[in-house]
Amino acid sequence: MGRKRQLQFGAINITMPAPHRPERYIELFHRAGELDKVVKLKGDWVGKLGTLRDDKDADGSAIIRGEFYKYIELDSTRDWFNVLKGKPADERELDQISIPEHLKPHFQYVPFVFFSKGHRLVMIIRDKEDVISAAQAVTILRGIFASSELVAIFGKIDLVIEPSRDTLEKILGMPRLRTLEIVVTPPNPDDFEEFERDLFDDMASQRASSYQLTLQEEEGEGLAPSDKVRKLARVAQSNGKVSGVGGARGKTTRLSTTEHPLIEKAHYDPDVEIRANVLLVKAREILQQIRN
């Protein structure tokens, strides 16, 4: 048995306007894959959706197993440097460069699984040299989902990186919570409790694209969020954001769910285990954690 490798995982909540049928999410991914769109990341890096494969979860609901790709898009028109001569390459040297357009350097890829029931995507974000963060995955998906062909069919797609599950409790439990800001984008009402359904219906009836609540302490008192506000914050951590400022004057701390993404870890032996299967098992654990 070889040495076990550590995997790191992240998760993304993906929501679309009504109707919220699971098959529409599956269609969204298939149409997105067909576009074969390359999205610019930071620097010379670009990313795209890789292979997509339909599958079924243990309860029979539809899932998609897929991959994110990342590589460097070289700009051959920019200057090249000759490290042997210690100066820019001349025209003769540039003429010797021949890299086929279809070959891309520094290729990395990670698998993901998308659950149509619950509309969550769980992905490996790090496996040795293969690193694609949840934020990079959101950039890739947002760039693809914003394509006019998809917007015309599905409308605006919202993506929220699932935060570390203890971040919200840290915000609400801050000593002398001075300010609490909650921003909610419409949650899908099909997999939530009565409070979330009522919130969605209320926002829909007012044609609201977001719901914002800001609470400011009475001087020196500190906030005491009600049960209703706590429930609203719970929805917002996966459908928007929650931030808070607390602490004594001059020693205040600011926390936000957007700055502390969920990162889970697991180890596996590549000699006896398949990475994609390890992902699926861990993804189910993460979904359960999110629902709780």
Q: What are the tens digits of pLDDT across the range 18-52?
A: 888 899 999 999 999 999 999 999 999 999 999 99
- How much is the mean pLDDT over the chain? 90
Between 4 and 52, the higher pLDDT residue: 52
User: Does 249 score more than 80 pLDDT?
Assistant: no
User: Does 202 score more than 90 pLDDT?
Assistant: no
Region of residue 64 (left: phi > 0; alpha: psi -120 to 50; beta: else): beta
How far is the C-alpha of 52 from the C-alpha of 120, rounded, in Å?
Answer: 16
Q: Band of the pLDDT at 3, cuts 50, 70, 90?
A: confident
> For residue 13, what are its two tokens?
């909540």
Whether the CB-CB separation of 120 and 290 falls below 8 Å is answered with yes
- Nearest Cα neighbor of 134 from 28, 229, 275, 8 is 8
> For residue 210, what are its two tokens?
């977001």
How far is the C-alpha of 179 from the C-alpha of 221, rounded, in Å?
Answer: 11
Handedness of CA 42, 48, 49, 51 (dihedral sign): negative
Give, in order, the Cα–Cα distances in Å from 167 to each of 15, 22, 154: 22, 29, 32
Chain centroid offset of residue 282 CA? 16
Q: Structure pTM? A: 0.89
How far is the C-alpha of 154 from the C-alpha of 152, rounded, in Å?
Answer: 6
Q: Which amino acid is at 24?
A: R
User: Does 207 score more than 90 pLDDT?
Assistant: no
